[in-house]
């Protein structure tokens, strides 16, 4: 009988899952993936095989609570697994605070610590923890592992994680944490396999999805990130503004009389590419649009990547390679080309044909700083961590 690992990525309105099966050689193979979406309204469930072929679908006409939906998911998984035994559930948990620099098996004490971090990530952490709680209720004996988006960045020194704020705020954990850590950890690992000499150098990874950030990595270790205390800082994203003068928030409070809740909605859901363009948060739509505001949103995205690249290269004391990953980074040859053109001063130069192929090295032979496209796989990272954590108990 082989081992199954369930990976859960729970958000406010959807729960994504991936199911992996352990192979004899120790590797993990994706067996199915899918999601429950429309939570809180009229949820639906769908599961697909590793090749994208549909395996199951279900639609509820009314609101169903999260525990019941997870119950349905677990039931489907038990049947789908056949003679594979479910060994653990690994969760993506956005915040591990200052305490957790590695994945943790969740017990009561760990769960309580993670609850304390809800104010630091109010839009994500409660949903991550609700999924852990629901699985504990449904399957009390199933080991659960929390894998943190912040953990990979716990290697940052005091300067990289600091803010120039009064000491009492720093002491209670108001600092830069950095996110997308599971993606960066996966990319650092893949780069070691693909090009070990590059992985030993100074690398900036651009995770460009609907959430976007950049990370400076020296010899496989994260030294700085564009994201800060929350996942709002750094690059503009689908609906978040990225770097912003805090004076703008004061202006909204004092001059526009907006409430904290309204500002939260403006910053998390109405800004970024959607805010500038007024059209869409989807990069594909903006790139096809003739509207000048759509062009401006794309140009601002590229411009801010260039600014962050300079800043992270400074944090690294130079730059040997840039890696593109996630939805936009993996699929948009045009955005990659624009970023590389703009960063020619850092020694980057494009191999047009390789960029259109879109995988592996995409810089020309004469570039002193190489450029790469490496698809990320946060779910596989979580499954791998979960197996490792189980092996230690």
Under the rule (CB under 6 A), what is the footprint of ligand ADP? 209-211, 238, 282-284, 287, 326-328, 331-332
3-class secondary structure, 213:
strand
Over the Cα atoms of the chain, what is R_g?
21
Choose between 4 and 211: whose C-beta lies nearer to ligand ADP: 211
Residue 278: name the closest of 299, 292, 264 by CA.
Answer: 292
Cα-Cα-Cα-Cα torsion 223, 227, 233, 234, nearest 10 degrees, comes to 60
Q: How far is the CB of 327 from ligand ADP (least distance, A)?
A: 2
Closest residue to bound ligand ADP by CB: 327
Q: How far is the CB of 378 from ligand ADP (least distance, A)?
A: 8
CB-count exposure of residue 259 (10 Å: 0-12, 13-18, 19+): exposed
Sequence-distant (≥ 6) Cβ neighbours of residue 370 within 8 angstroms? 195, 198, 320, 321, 322, 361, 363
Q: How far is CA 39 from the centre of its chain?
A: 21
CA 199 → CA 185, 190, 339, 379, 392, distances in Å?
A: 12, 9, 21, 22, 28
Residue 135: name the closest of 118, 111, 151 by CA.
Answer: 111
Catalytic residue ranges: 149
Choose between 145 and 335: whose C-beta lies nearer to ligand ADP: 335
Q: How far is the CB of 384 from ligand ADP (least distance, A)?
A: 19
Helices (H), the chain: 66-81, 108-116, 125-138, 158-161, 167-171, 181-194, 196-199, 246-254, 260-269, 272-277, 283-288, 292-316, 326-331, 333-342, 352-357, 378-392
Q: Which two tokens stand for residue 130?
A: 């609700």
Choose between 103 and 209: whose C-beta lies nearer to ligand ADP: 209
Residue 96: name the closest of 157, 144, 158, 154 by CA.
Answer: 154
Choose between 150 and 161: whose C-beta lies nearer to ligand ADP: 150
Q: How far is the CB of 207 from ligand ADP (least distance, A)?
A: 8
Choose between 4 and 234: whose C-beta lies nearer to ligand ADP: 234
Report d(CA 363, CA 388) in Å as an integer.
35
357, 230 Cβ separation under 8 angstroms: no
Choose between 128 and 161: whose C-beta lies nearer to ligand ADP: 128
Q: How far is the CB of 297 from ligand ADP (least distance, A)?
A: 11
Q: How far is the CB of 247 from ligand ADP (least distance, A)?
A: 29
Q: How far is the CB of 238 from ligand ADP (least distance, A)?
A: 5
Evaluated on CA atoms 188, 153, 380, 371, the torsion sign reads negative
Within a 13 Å sphere around the CA of 288, how many CA atoms are in the beta-carbon half?
6
Choose between 206 and 326: whose C-beta lies nearer to ligand ADP: 326
């Amino acid at each position: 009988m082989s081992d199954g690992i369930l990976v859960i990525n729970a958000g406010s309105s959807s729960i994504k899952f991936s199911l992996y099966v352990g192979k004899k050689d120790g590797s993990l193979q994706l067996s199915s993936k899918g999601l429950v979406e429309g939570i809180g309204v009229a949820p639906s469930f769908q599961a697909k095989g590793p090749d994208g072929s549909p395996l199951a679908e279900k639609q509820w006409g009314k609101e169903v609570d999260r525990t019941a939906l997870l119950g349905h998911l677990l039931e489907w998984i038990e049947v789908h697994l056949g003679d594979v035994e479910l060994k653990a559930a690994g969760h993506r948990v956005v915040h591990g605070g200052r305490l957790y620099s590695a994945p943790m098996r969740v017990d009561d004490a760990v769960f309580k610590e993670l609850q304390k971090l809800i104010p630091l990530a109010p839009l994500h952490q409660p949903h991550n923890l609700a999924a852990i709680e629901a699985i504990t209720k449904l399957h009390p004996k199933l080991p659960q592992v929390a894998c943190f988006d912040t953990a990979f960045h716990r290697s940052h020194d005091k300067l990289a994680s600091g803010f120039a704020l009064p000491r009492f705020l720093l002491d209670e954990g108001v600092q830069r944490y950095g996110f997308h850590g599971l993606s960066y950890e996966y990319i650092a690992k893949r780069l070691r396999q693909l090009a070990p000499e590059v992985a030993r150098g100074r690398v900036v990874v651009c995770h460009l999805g609907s959430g976007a950030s950049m990370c400076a990595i020296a010899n496989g270790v994260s030294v700085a990130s564009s994201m800060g205390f929350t996942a709002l800082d750094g690059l503009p994203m689908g609906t978040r503004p990225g770097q912003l003068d805090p004076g703008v928030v004061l202006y909204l409070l004092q001059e526009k009389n907006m409430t904290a809740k309204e500002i939260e909605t403006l910053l998390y859901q109405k800004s970024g590419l959607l805010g500038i363009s007024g059209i869409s948060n989807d990069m594909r739509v903006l790139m096809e649009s003739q509207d000048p505001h759509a062009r401006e949103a794309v140009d601002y995205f590229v411009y801010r990547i260039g600014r962050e690249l300079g800043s992270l290269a400074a944090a690294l004391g130079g730059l040997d390679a840039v890696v593109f990953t996630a939805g936009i980074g993996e699929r948009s040859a045009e955005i990659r080309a624009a970023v590389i053109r703009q960063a020619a001063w850092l020694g980057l130069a494009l191999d047009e044909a390789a960029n259109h192929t879109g995988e592996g090295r995409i810089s020309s032979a004469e570039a002193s700083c190489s450029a790469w496209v490496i698809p990320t796989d946060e779910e596989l990272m979580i499954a791998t961590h979960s197996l490792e954590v189980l092996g230690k108990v």
